[in-house]
């Protein structure tokens, strides 16, 4: 039985005041049901504050990206080993904004995935197709290539220690959510692809959907057999909206 996971990606948003307000408001909804686990990924600068404020909560902490190196002359970077010191559990790797704006290839994403696992943190592998690829009917081949790059580098068993987030790029921040049926079709095909390599990993791995999920669209998505939660951007910045998504998973 896979637990529903609702994860908020705050991206480049926040302030000390906002971190406090949001975390305070989310503690109660996050504690309402064991059926749903909750995590937030603030900007790196706020990880220390978030760790302290989450101490008496059931909300896990995540980071939005990681460097492949542990330490050294890599200006501006942050390593999984550093995240561990701040109580981080999850690390997003391969978010489409990293792939697009920072030119991260499948190979770079796979190396980041390996670096996160190396520290026994949970990589959240983000995969998904662009609008052009969606319209060309290439969704499945794109997500399979993104998955296979990680499998080639880390082995299929590594995905058993990770979370997958299917995020169609055309749905991120656009207000266009894939219908539950479209998302379920891709999630099911992802699980089928993994099952050919390891049935246990395929059955156990949580596959989140991401792309303009809101309080009123979450329940329909979570009702689908292969959708195990959501990675949420914009709606994660509004306590009421994010709480509604959490409750939809309960």
Say which DSSP state 158 is in.
G
- Please tell me which residue in 53, 129, 167, 187 is annotated as part of the active site: 167
Task: Choose, by CB under 6 A, the member of 65, 67, 129, 167 that binds ligand PEP.
Answer: 167
Distance CA 50, CA 120 (A): 20
Note whether 215 binds ligand PEP by CB under 6 A. no
Distance CA 120, CA 201 (A): 17
- Please tell me which residue in 53, 95, 104, 187 is annotated as part of the active site: 95
* Region from 53-61, 110-118, 152-160, 226-234 binding ligand PEP, contact rule CB under 6 A: 226-234
Q: Which single residue brings its beta carbon nearest to ligand PEP? A: 233
Note whether 212 binds ligand PEP by CB under 6 A. yes
Task: Choose, by CB under 6 A, the member of 116, 142, 164, 172 that binds ligand PEP.
Answer: 172
* Region from 105-113, 166-174, 187-195, 221-229 binding ligand PEP, contact rule CB under 6 A: 166-174
User: Is 167 known to be catalytic?
Assistant: yes
- Asked if residue 30 lies in contact with residue 246, where contact means CB atoms within 8 angstroms, the answer is yes
Note whether 211 binds ligand PEP by CB under 6 A. yes
Tally Cβ neighbours within 10 Å of residue 171: 23
Tokens of 38: 């909750």
Tally Cβ neighbours within 10 Å of residue 202: 20
Closest CA to 246 of 105, 43, 38: 38
Radius of gyration of the chain (CA): 17
**Contact residues for ligand PEP, defined by CB under 6 A:** 9, 167, 172-173, 210-213, 231-235
- What is the set of active-site residues? 95, 167
């Amino acid at each position: 039985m896979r637990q529903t996971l609702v994860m908020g990606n705050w991206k480049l948003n926040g302030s000390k005041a906002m971190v406090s307000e949001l975390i305070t408001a989310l503690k109660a909804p996050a504690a309402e049901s064991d059926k749903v686990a909750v995590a937030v990924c603030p900007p790196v600068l706020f990880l220390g504050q978030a760790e302290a404020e989450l101490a008496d909560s059931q909300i896990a902490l995540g980071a939005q990206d990681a460097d492949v190196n542990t330490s050294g002359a890599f200006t501006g970077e942050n390593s999984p080993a550093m995240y561990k010191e701040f109580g981080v559990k999850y690390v997003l790797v391969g978010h489409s904004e990293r792939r697009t704006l920072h030119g991260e290839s499948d190979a770079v994403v796979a190396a980041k995935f390996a670096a996160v696992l190396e520290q026994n943190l949970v990589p959240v592998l983000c995969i998904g197709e662009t609008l052009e690829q969606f319209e060309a009917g290439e969704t499945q081949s794109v997500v399979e290539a993104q998955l296979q790059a990680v499998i080639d580098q880390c082995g299929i068993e590594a995905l058993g220690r990770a979370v997958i987030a299917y995020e169609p790029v055309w749905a991120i921040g656009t207000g266009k959510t894939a219908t539950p049926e479209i998302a379920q079709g891709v999630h099911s095909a992802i699980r089928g692809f993994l099952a050919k390599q390891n049935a246990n990993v395929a059955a156990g791995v949580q596959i989140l959907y991401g792309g303009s999920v809101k309080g009123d669209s979450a329940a329909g998505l979570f009702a689908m057999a292969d959708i195990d939660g959501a990675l949420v951007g914009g709606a994660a910045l509004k306590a009421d909206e994010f709480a509604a998504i959490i409750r939809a998973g309960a």
